[in-house]
Each structure stands twice: as C-alpha cells, then as structure tokens.
A and B are shown apart, each in its own frame.
Chain A
C-alpha cells in the first residue's frame, strides 16, 4: 500500500479519537461527569510529566532510570510552584539538568 494511504489511515484513527467526544458531548454533562472531567487536567498533566522524567525507553522497553532528570524535574517543580511561569521553569530545569549531569560526570 502507498505510504500516503497509510498516512490517511493514521489520520482517520487519530481524528476519530480527537473528534468523537467533541462532537458527541453536546448537552450539559450530568453532574457526576462534569465533576469527573474537572480533574482530568491534573491527572493527564501528571501522566505526561512523571514517566517522562523518571523513566527512559531503550531497546528493552521502558525502565525506571535514576538520572539527572529527576533532581532537575524536582527543581523545575519548585520553581513552577513559586513562579507559575513556564519559561523560568524550563530554563531553571534545563540549567540544573546540565549542571547536575556535569557534576555527575556522565
């Protein structure tokens, strides 16, 4: 099959996941669903952050990796807690990552 047809299939399944809830959930959600959705952002953001910091993926799949990303992420979290500023958070986190990696000599 042509590579562009593969892209089309990929796009269709991706669009379905993005569009179906947006098109189906049209009325006021029932209170239990509204309350549930209210806590989705914190849960999803955490799931995007924590494995990306504490795990690395290699040939054998994902494993927990105790590297400089963990203290750097912790420093980033402290900075974000104090400043609520994404740019300052990223800069502080990256600088501490490079410094820690230098000190650890890896």
Chain B
C-alpha cells in the first residue's frame, strides 16, 4: 500500500511538472480574462469565482462579453455549452487511455480537463501508457496557473494595458505547434493535420464559437482512421 501511495504521488507530481511547459501560453489569457471581467463590471470574487467554478478559458471570455452586454443567464449558459462541446472529443480520446481507472477518479479528472492538459496527457500516454493520476496532476497544475493568473491579472491589470497588442496571444498556438510537429512525422497524421487545417479555417469562418475544433477534430481523425485502413502498413524506416 505504501508503494501504491508513493507511485500515485509520483504520477501527480510528474503531471503537475510536465504541465508547467504550457503555463507561459495560459497565464497571459488568464490575466487578460481578469482584466476584461473587471472592465465588464464583475467584482474580484466574481472574476476569480468563474475561473474556479467554470474553468474553461474561451467560454469565460465569451461570458464576460455577454455579461457586459446584459445577456440573460440562459443564453450565457447555452453559449458555454456550445463553446465547450469540443471537450466531448478530448474526453473520449482521454477515456481511451485511462478507462481502467476507477469511476470516481475519472469523474474527478473530467472536472479540469482542458485543451492544454489533454495535450500534455496524450504526449505522456503515447510513451508510457495511460495514467489517470498523471492526468490529475496535469489538471491541478493548469487549475493552479489559471487561478493564479486570474488573481495577478486582477491586481496588475492596469499595468499591462494591452497584452494582445504585444502579441502574447500567439504563445498559445505556438505551444500547440510544438506538440503537433513531432506527431506529424508519419504520413497518416500528416494527412490528418492538412485536412483538419482546411476544415478548421473554413468552419471558423462560417460557424460561431469553437464548433470548428469539434468539426475538424471529428472529420480529420475519421479520415485518418480510413486512410490508415487503406494504406499498406508503413515500415518505421519509411516514416520520415
């Protein structure tokens, strides 16, 4: 039992530390969120409260905009559901790695599953196999930086008048490029990425919210499965 407890703690710590790499991409968003929430008239506790209770960046930004516009709660909740629908796909993918873990642990992991911690988890699980405790540690790490950057943004917001003007919002896609590139060394994943790129841009032009992530994710990966099925097995030497 001692050993089990120890390895759990180890996995949580590993996940927490592995996620520090995405902090620079997340912190500016947390700070900008806080600044815009306060500007929209939310109090400090309401601003931090949304980060702690909802914990989903894109939908928090949208909600702030809707609060500012005086939208009714039902439309804010509906917008949140639409924006966060993409988590269905992240959760299904994560489930394929950690489905043997106890139900309560998967229920806990689900609360803090985000784009960033999903990326950190998948990278680890592809190397070592699934580990729900690692995912939990990764999630805690992101929860920590999201809450911390919300507080820092609330306190220092006035000092960085225009973080988007500095181009700091580019850190997020750059971080994900670093996750993506090692993945597209084989032909199937490369085709998946090309198709997903086209679909996501087209869908982002025509559809609201982040439907484009769900759509490109579903169609791109389905194409990959089909393509892998019709392609003769690729030997490792041919992969690059």
Give me the interface of A with B, judged by CB distance under 8 Å: 1, 3-11, 13-27, 29, 32, 34-55, 62-64, 68-69, 72-73, 76-77, 80-81, 84-87, 89-90, 93-94, 97-98, 101
Contacts and interface: CB of A to CB of B under 8 A. Distances in A.
Given A35-B228, A86-B175, A22 B183 contact: no
B205 A22 contact: no
Interface string B16-43: 0000011011000000000000000010
B224 A39 contact: yes
Contact of B167 (A32, A36, A44, A94): A94
B174 A73 contact: yes
Contacts of B221: 36-40, 42-44
Interface class of chain B by DSSP: helix
A13 B216 contact: no
24 contacts: A1-B73, A11-B53, A13-B81, A14-B81, A18-B90, A18-B111, A18-B113, A19-B107, A24-B95, A37-B96, A39-B223, A39-B225, A42-B192, A43-B219, A45-B180, A46-B197, A48-B172, A54-B201, A69-B170, A73-B170, A86-B175, A87-B24, A89-B178, A94-B170
Interface in B48-62: 49-50, 53-56, 59
Contacts of A1: 72-73
Given A6-B76, A18-B87, A80-B178, A52 B173 contact: yes
Given A11-B53, A49-B180, A76-B174, A17 B91 contact: yes
Given A6-B73, A22-B106, A42-B189, A47 B200 contact: yes
B181 A81 contact: yes
Contacts of B213: 44, 47-48
B92 A17 contact: no
A14 B94 contact: no
Given A39-B220, A47-B213, A90-B171, A77 B181 contact: yes
Q: Counting chain B CB atoms within 10 Å of each CB, which of A10, A13, A87 scores highest?
A: A10
B156 interface: no
Residue among A5, A22, A35, A50 with the highest chain B CB neighbour number at 10 A:
A22
A42 B84 contact: no
> DSSP class of A's interface residues: helix, strand, loop or mixed?
helix
A62 B221 CA distance: 25
Interface size class of B (residues with CB under 8 A): 35 or more
A6 B76 CA distance: 8
A47 to B, nearest CB: 4
Given A15-B110, A48-B176, 15 more contacts: A17-B84, A20-B91, A37-B96, A39-B225, A40-B217, A42-B224, A44-B118, A45-B179, A47-B216, A51-B212, A64-B201, A85-B178, A87-B24, A89-B174, A93-B170
A57 to B, nearest CB: 9
Interface in B184-219: 184, 188-189, 192-193, 195-197, 199-201, 204-205, 212-213, 215-219
Closest 5 CB pairs of A and B: A39-B224, A43-B220, A19-B110, A80-B181, A86-B178
Contacts of B199: 47
A90 B175 contact: yes
